[in-house]
Amino acid sequence: MVVIRLTRGGAKKRPFYHIIATDKHSRRDGQFIERLGYYNPIASEKEAGLNLQLERIDHWKKQGAELSPTVARLVKEFARKQPAAA
């Protein structure tokens, strides 16, 4: 089964996350199928802290992929801000 979740990157005390589609049984930072965006929880005002490819996320959801609770929250937040920016 495919799941959409976070994978951690960045340095110690400076996390950076990629949102990925991966097999449910693969390790957190292991192999993935597709990179769907990123999340930077400590981004400054100038930087984009969240960027997602909503079309690809919808594609994977139609294929039966599940979203982790954190990714579901981030997608909801990003979709809410997206129409205001456009």
Is the CB of residue 9 less than 8 Å from the CB of residue 16? yes
Q: Which residue has the higher pLDDT, 28 or 70?
A: 70
**pLDDT confidence tier of residue 44, bands split at 50, 70 and 90:** confident
34-39 β-sheet, strand order: 50-52, 34-39, 14-23, 2-11, 66-67
pTM: 0.85
**pLDDT at residue 1 tops 70:** yes
**pLDDT confidence tier of residue 43, bands split at 50, 70 and 90:** confident
Handedness of CA 38, 77, 5, 8 (dihedral sign): positive
Class of 2-85 per CATH?
A: alpha beta
* Whole-number average pLDDT of the chain: 90
Helix (H, G, I), strand (E, B) or coil at 73: helix
